[in-house]
Amino acid sequence: MTQATKRAARPAIVLTAEDHLLLSRAVEGAGERLADLAAELGRELDRARILPQGRHSAEHVRIGSGVTFRDEVSGKESTITLVRPEEADVDAGRISVMTPVGVALIGMAAGKSIDWVTRTAERRRLTVMAVRDPADLALAG
């Protein structure tokens, strides 16, 4: 396998049944303005392993998870909480799952990397450094 092939391979992702349903509805309801993002999210949903109803993996990013990730181009680390679109607040570090970086992060596990494209069509690569379960965030808050 060449380096380019390795780089293009998408890591396995795991979603809760609840997140899969919510995101499937978001893809179906996406307007023309979000068509490209919805198509990318749809591809991610198609390849995801879906956990049974009521089950989740604390190791994988889900809606409500705290995530620390590194931009492999700049080396900058960011810590955010991945949220539903209506809960987004960039200034508070609450990033919508319906953004390019949100689509890249959903379902990822710590230590895994993925290529993604920004809203300005810039190709980037991120590595998930840590995932904090929503229940852990609620206890800390």
Residue 132 maps to a domain: yes
Give the per-residue pLDDT at 139.
56
Q: What is the CATH number of the domain that holds 23?
A: 3.10.50.30
Q: What is the pLDDT along the chain (141 residues), one digit of tens a residue?
A: 444 444 457 899 999 999 999 999 998 888 787 788 889 999 999 999 999 999 999 999 999 999 999 999 999 999 999 999 999 999 999 999 999 999 999 999 999 999 999 889 899 999 999 999 886 665 555
Give the per-residue pLDDT at 45.
93
Give the per-residue pLDDT at 88.
95
Residue 3 maps to a domain: no
Residue 6 maps to a domain: no
The DSSP call for residue 85 is: G
Residue 45 maps to a domain: yes
For residue 40, give the amino acid letter: E
Q: Are strands 94-96 and 77-83 parallel, antiparallel or unpaired?
A: parallel
Beta bridge partners of 78: 69
Q: How far is CA 79 from CA 33, 67, 68, 99, 131, in A?
A: 27, 5, 4, 16, 10
Residue 129 maps to a domain: yes
Nearest to 41 by CA among 9, 65, 70, 19: 19
CA distance 91 to 86: 14
Residue-by-residue DSSP string for 35-50: HHHHHHHHHHHHH-EE
Residue 5 maps to a domain: no
Residue 69 maps to a domain: yes
Domain extent at residue 36: 11-140
Residue 1 maps to a domain: no
Domain count, the chain: 1
Question: 30-43 burial string, b = 16+ CB within 10 Å, else e?
Answer: beeebeebbebbbe
